[in-house]
Amino acid sequence: MIDRRTLFQTAHVIARRERGMYGLSMTYRQAFAIALRKLYAQAREQTERAARAEAFCAALAQQAREAAARRLAELKGIAADLEHTDRLGNAGLRRLAAVNSEIHRLEHAA
């Protein structure tokens, strides 16, 4: 957020430029009013853009949470299947350990 002093300093710069573009046919007060309107319009646009970006990030985060929940459910199903298998062997045990490790990681990441 811009402070009041910086806002008015910027408005003075813009007002001098506006007045220079129109010659001296406009008063400084008119040029200053134009400058303030421009600055407030820019601030409003930036606020709207930030709100849209925040909403977009929230939607992405929600999608990521949903994907993680789906993956967690899938992994728990795989782990349950592996645990109920009578003969896992070394490869099966490694797979079960990897699945349990990923389940643990996903549960603690949330």
pLDDT score, position 5 = 84
- Please, what's the largest Cα pairwise distance for the chain? 93
Q: How far is CA 53 from the centre of its chain?
A: 5
Q: pLDDT in tens for each of the 110 residues of the chain?
A: 567 788 788 888 888 887 777 666 777 788 888 888 888 898 899 999 999 999 999 999 999 999 999 999 999 988 888 887 767 788 888 888 888 899 898 888 76
Give the pLDDT score at 87: 74
Q: Calculate the dihedral angle through the C-alpha atoms of 68, 69, 75, 78, rounding to the nearest 10 degrees.
A: -150
**Residue 13 and residue 27: Cα distance in Å, rounded?**
14
**Tell me, what's the pLDDT at 22?**
65
